[in-house]
Amino acid sequence: MEEKLAALLEEAVDGVMDEVIAFRRQLHRRPELGFETFETMELISKILTEAGIGHKTHCAESGVVARIPSKGSGHKLALRGDIDALPVTEQTSLPFASEIEGRMHACGHDNHAAIALGSALVLNRLQGRLPGETLVVFQPAEEGPTLPTGARRIMAEGHLDGVREIYGLHVSNELMVGQIGCRCGNFMASADMLNVKFTGKASHAAYPHKGVDALLVACRFVDAVQTVVSRMSDPLEPIVISFGRMIAGEAGNVLAGEAQLWGTMRTYNKELQRRALAAIEQMANETAAMYGATAEVKITQAIGSVVNDKRTTQKLERVARELLGEEQVVALENPSMGGEDFSGYLDAIPGTFYNLGTSDGVNREPLHSSTFDVDERALRVGVRLMCALALDPER
């Protein structure tokens, strides 16, 4: 980036950071779930309107897409920040802790939204230096559970038609403030939702031979299904199958006539994904039959794997090294088994997803924790980098 533009960027970023941090804290106080982020949408719209930034509301029901025009001939670029929270009860002592019981920005989307807002405000100030039109997406429902999630809804409604590259980020307490984590290719795994119901026959627990114990069948299945990981897939191909919820029976002295399981499967390999899902269904049916029960398997392919485009990843690394310093750009050795619906954009648009360091060296609380928080100095880093990507002349 040329010296004059770099100085203008720093000045513009400094000029919006108080508003960015205040906005983040307001979102943290008032977390909203899924597609019901209407209060958040209205707040974003109010700030954009006051700044004179054109935008659409009610995108994917309760999201916002802002447009920063340009007189340049470069192609259209998009920056994305998700805005929904999680059904988690906050246990921090923050002065701006969640005011809504059972809801919390435990995944850091309040920070993503604040960085997106700051980027829109800065790029609007530097509009004359933009090489091409830039869209800033404030996306609801990244976390689900309603499907399709927000990214696919944004795409299906045509809000990103004509976009040629897209960037998104996720806060990470595994990296220090000032660092970013990059990786070309596989970055995050696909996420399939599993629901398996076993139906047997209830009976008195003292006479188990007169019933079919659905709880026992479910336990046998949960144990057996791990052979899909240990014996039916290449040990060098990552795959995770986990069941986190089960409901069975109504009393301790009655064999369960029905048992229902909910879980997830994660992988990067589409062929392995296909074979593993088929094996899970077959194993459920065969385990049930072995004990005289029946099985019903429902599989929902929620999100695909996040696969970062080579060209845009190289651009991210180049811009980040110039802006943050060589040592601050961390090459991630392994992809994550976590899921992210940013894949809904990457299926159609070349782009890159990266991790933004938010740890101060003491705070290492993981995502989705009831005590999760970030060092707010990271917000400035995020705004600077997102804006630098948009201002880069190579588009």
* Euclidean distance between the first and the last CA atom of the chain, given in angstroms as a whole number: 13
Neighbours of 236 (CB within 10 A): 5
3-class SS at 101?
A: coil
Radius of gyration for the alpha carbons in the chain, expressed in angstroms and rounded: 23
Q: Check the annotation: does 58 bind a ligand.
A: no
CA distances from 36 to 60, 63, 86, 92, 341 (A): 10, 9, 12, 24, 17
Q: Are strands 306-308 and 163-176 parallel, antiparallel or unpaired?
A: unpaired
Q: Check the annotation: does 170 bind a ligand.
A: yes
Q: Check the annotation: does 143 bind a ligand.
A: yes
Neighbours of 283 (CB within 10 A): 20
CA dist 386 and 224 (Å) reads 46
**164-200 burial by CB neighbour count: b if 16+ within 10 A, else e?**
bbbbbbbbbbbbbbbbbbbbbebbbbbbbbbebbbbb
3-class SS at 71?
A: coil
Cα 374 from chain centroid (whole Å) = 17
Instruction: Indicate the angle between helix axes 109-125 and 377-391, nearest 10 degrees.
Output: 50
Cα 148 from chain centroid (whole Å) = 13
CA dist 123 and 135 (Å) reads 10
Cα 394 from chain centroid (whole Å) = 28
Q: What are phi and psi of 320, to 5 degrees?
A: -65, -40
Binding annotation for Mn(2+): 107, 109, 143, 170, 368
Binding annotation: 107, 109, 143, 170, 368
